[in-house]
DNA sequence: CCTTTTGGTTATCAAATGATAACGAAAAGA
DNA sequence: TCTTTTCGTTATCATTTGATAACCAAAAGG
C-alpha cells in the first residue's frame, strides 16, 4: 500500500466521520445554541475548567471570537466563570448545572443514534472498534 | 467496556479527526475558495460526475444552497456542467482541468502534512492503520 | 519602578452560511 | 392529456462566523 492511496483513504474516512458526526449531532438545533457553541460545550464535557486560550486552540477559533461565544454561553446560563487566583489574568470556565443538563440531553440523543449503529455487534467486535480508535488516534489523529 | 464509555471515545475521536483535518486542509485558504466549496470539490475528486442532489446529500447542504455554490464554482471555472440525456432534469457536474489542478495542489500539500504524521512507521504499521480505517468505516462511520 | 509580554475583552465590519419562497422544466403516472 | 412529482434554479433575508483594531489588567523581567 503506497502512501498516496493510504492518504486518500484517510481523506475519505475523515469525510465520512464528518458526515456521521453531523447526523448524530442533529439534535443540537433543538437547543438554542449554534454549532461552535456546541463545540465549546462539548470540549468542556471532557476538560474542565478551561481557559479561553485553551478553547481557542482546541476549537480553532480566534481569542476574540472565543470570548464572544463564551459571553453568549454565560448569558444563556450554560457556563460559569471564575478567576485563577494563582494568575489573575486567567479566566476559568466550567459548565453550569444547566449546561451539564443540556449536554446530557444532547449526548443522550447522540448515544441512542450511536447504539443503533453498533446494534448487534458482539463484545469482541466492540473491543476491536475500541482498539482501532486508539490506534488511529495514536498514529494519525494525534 | 460499556457502551457509554465507547460512545465517549467515539465523540472525542471524531473531535480529534476534525481538528487534524482542519490543520491538514489549512492550505485551502491560499486558493480562492470557501470551505464548503472545498468540500464539494473534494467530493468530486472521489465521485464524478455528480448531480446537485447527490452533493446536497453528501455535503449536508440544502439544494438551493448547493446550487448557489456550484454556480460560484462554475464562475471560477473550477467545474463543468452537462445534462443527463436520459433524464434531462439531471445536471451532471464534474471538475474542470483547472479544478483538477487546484485540488491536485491542495491534496499535494495535505499529503505532505500527512507524510509527516506517519513518518517513520513501518509497512506493517501502515497496514494496521489501513485495516483500522476499514474496520471503523464499516462498523461505525458508514 | 518601568517596560514588555501575556491573557482576555469589546466593538465593529465583512464574508460565509442557512433557510425559505417562488418559479420553471422535464418526467412519471393516472 | 392533465396532474403530480422530481430536480434544479434564482432571489432574498437572517444568522453565524471570521478578521481586525483598540483596549485593559495582571504578570514577568529587567
Where does the pLDDT of residue A105 fall: very low under 50, low under 70, confident under 90, or very high at 90 and above?
A: very high
Task: Identify which of A19, A46, A26 has the alpha carbon closest to the alpha carbon of residue A105.
Answer: A26
Q: Chain B contacts of A110, Cβ < 8 Å?
A: 7, 11
**Residues with pLDDT less than 70, chain B:** 1
Can you state the angle between helices B123-139 and A3-24, rounded to 10 degrees?
Answer: 30
- What is the reported pLDDT for B1? 67
Angstrom distance (rounded) from CA A73 to CA A94: 11
Where does the pLDDT of residue A94 fall: very low under 50, low under 70, confident under 90, or very high at 90 and above?
A: very high
Angstrom distance (rounded) from CA A94 to CA A100: 9
Angstrom distance (rounded) from CA B99 to CA B78: 4
Angstrom distance (rounded) from CA A37 to CA B85: 46
Where does the pLDDT of residue A39 fall: very low under 50, low under 70, confident under 90, or very high at 90 and above?
A: very high
Q: Chain A contacts of B128, Cβ < 8 Å?
A: 135, 139
A2 pLDDT higher than 90 = no
Distance from residue B63's CA to nucleotide D11's C1', rounded to whole Å: 14
Task: Identify which of A64, A45, A39, A41 has the alpha carbon closest to the alpha carbon of residue A53.
Answer: A64
Distance from residue A11's CA to nucleotide C23's C1', rounded to whole Å: 38
Mean pLDDT calculated for residue range A85-106: 97
A55 pLDDT higher than 90 = yes
Interface of A with B in 61-100 (CB under 8 A): none
Per-residue pLDDT of A125-138, as tens digits, reads 999 999 999 999 99
Angstrom distance (rounded) from CA B49 to CA A60: 33
Q: Chain B contacts of A14, Cβ < 8 Å?
A: 17, 20-21
Angstrom distance (rounded) from CA B23 to CA A60: 9
Partner residue opposite B7 with nearest CB, options A6, A114, A123 = A114
Interface of A with B in 14-43 (CB under 8 A): 14-22, 39, 42-43
Helix (H) or strand (E) holding B41: helix B35-46
Q: Nine-digit cell at A7?
A: 492518504
Name the residue in chain A with its Cα closest to that of B6. A130
Distance from residue A89's CA to nucleotide C7's C1', rounded to whole Å: 6
Shortest Cα distance from A26 to chain B (angstroms)? 11
Per-residue pLDDT of A57-85, as tens digits, reads 999 999 999 999 999 999 999 999 999 99
- What is the reported pLDDT for B135? 98
Burial class (CB in 10 A: 0-12, 13-18, 19+), B47: exposed
Angstrom distance (rounded) from CA A74 to CA A81: 8
* Mean pLDDT, chain A, integer: 96
CB atoms within 10 A of CB B78: 25
Longest dimension (CA), chain A: 54
Burial class (CB in 10 A: 0-12, 13-18, 19+), A43: middle
A1 pLDDT higher than 80 = no
Is B62 (CB) below 7 Å from strand C? yes
Helix (H) or strand (E) holding A81: strand A79-83
Mean pLDDT calculated for residue range A29-54: 96
Amino acid at each position: 500500500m503506497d502512501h498516496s492511496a493510504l492518504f486518500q483513504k484517510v481523506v475519505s474516512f475523515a469525510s465520512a466521520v464528518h458526515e456521521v458526526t453531523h447526523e448524530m449531532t442533529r439534535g443540537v438545533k433543538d437547543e438554542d445554541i449554534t454549532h461552535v457553541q456546541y463545540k465549546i460545550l462539548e470540549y468542556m464535557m471532557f476538560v474542565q475548567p478551561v481557559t479561553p486560550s485553551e478553547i481557542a486552540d482546541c476549537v480553532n477559533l480566534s481569542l476574540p471570537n472565543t470570548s464572544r461565544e463564551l459571553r453568549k454561553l454565560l448569558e444563556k446560563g450554560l457556563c460559569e466563570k471564575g478567576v485563577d487566583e494563582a494568575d489573575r489574568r486567567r479566566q476559568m470556565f466550567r459548565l453550569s448545572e444547566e449546561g451539564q443538563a443540556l449536554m446530557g440531553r444532547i449526548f443522550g440523543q447522540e448515544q441512542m443514534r450511536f447504539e443503533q449503529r453498533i446494534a448487534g455487534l458482539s463484545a469482541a467486535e466492540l473491543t476491536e472498534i475500541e482498539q482501532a480508535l486508539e490506534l488511529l488516534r495514536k498514529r494519525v489523529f494525534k
